[in-house]
Amino acid sequence: MGEALEQSVAARTEAHLAELAHHFCEAVPAVDPSKAVDYARRAGDHAIGQLAPEEAIRLYETALALVDEPERPRLLLQIARSTWMTGASGEERALEARDALIAGRDPDGAAEAELLLASIHWFEGRRQLVSEDMERAVGLVRGGAVTATTANVLEHAARFRMLADDTEEALVLGREAVAIAERLGLESVRAHCLSDIGVACPSRRSRRARRPPDGVGRGGGGQRRLGRLAGTGEPR
């Protein structure tokens, strides 16, 4: 059934990914499970693109039941992200994914899990945990190959620092992220970095002109900015 459907929809596979995943998963072990996993994963990605995270979770978990061990950590991360998109915390799944990615020696994946944890903890108001999450994320991308994840982590770290009113560190991280984004041709990340820097620079000048007493006004700017970001899934 799966192979017949695959042939009949060859020109429009994207519209039938969930159906293909269902039929190939039902046929395991009579068919190669790798094709079932591929369709289930792609169907999950498509569901995310359609803003249907509950469906994505179902499809990713279907793939998780069939996938080989080395592929499990990345699927766990996808499930954690999808859970976060539903409005649930997703913290438990994100921690599971992070630990599996570290054990699997996937520092980029583990850093992405830390970014997700930072977003979860930010919206829960657990600022100390956010700082710890971001410190670990930056540490995971330091010293290795420079990748798109490196730029993304540094851009997120700069933004979190900006929202916490740590302007000097936000500028350092933001400029480093811009340099990497330009080198790798990551226009979206570069644009976000420049936006962060643009917000941080006036903030630094303002504080130099009139610095409030210790403890007065700290975090207020970040809270106001965050108030406009509710529902985005991450502090943007």
Check if the beta carbon of residue 80 is closer than 8 Å to that of residue 96. Answer: yes
Check if the beta carbon of residue 64 is closer than 8 Å to that of residue 72. Answer: yes
pLDDT, position 79: 96
Provide the CATH topology of domain 1-96: 1.25.40
pLDDT, position 147: 96
pLDDT band at 210 (very low <50, low <70, confident <90, very high): very low
List own/partner pairs for 140-146 with CB under 8 A and 24 or more apart. 140/107, 140/108, 140/110, 140/111, 140/114, 141/107, 141/108, 141/111, 144/107, 146/180, 146/183, 146/184
pLDDT band at 34 (very low <50, low <70, confident <90, very high): confident
* One-letter identity of residue 179: A
Higher pLDDT pick, 14 / 217: 14
Average pLDDT over residues 171-189: 94
pLDDT, position 108: 97
Average pLDDT over residues 28-47: 86
The mean pLDDT of the chain is: 81
Lowest mean pLDDT among 35-49, 73-87, 95-109, 192-206: 192-206
Structure tokens, 205: 């000048």
Q: How far apart are CA 233 and CA 154, in angstroms?
A: 18
Question: Model's pTM, two decimal places?
Answer: 0.77
pLDDT, position 16: 64
pLDDT, position 10: 54
pLDDT, position 3: 58
Residue 88 DSSP symbol: S
The CATH architecture to which 106-236 belongs is: Alpha Horseshoe (1.25)
pLDDT band at 124 (very low <50, low <70, confident <90, very high): very high
Break the chain into its structural domains and give their ranges. Answer: 1-96, 106-236
pLDDT, position 202: 62
Has residue 223 got a pLDDT over 70? no
pLDDT, position 19: 75
Higher pLDDT pick, 160 / 206: 160
Has residue 199 got a pLDDT over 70? yes
Structure tokens, 157: 């770290």
pLDDT, position 183: 96
Average pLDDT over residues 196-216: 54
How do the residues of the chain divide into helix, strand and coil, expressed in percent and rounded to 5?
75, 0, 25
Average pLDDT over residues 56-85: 94
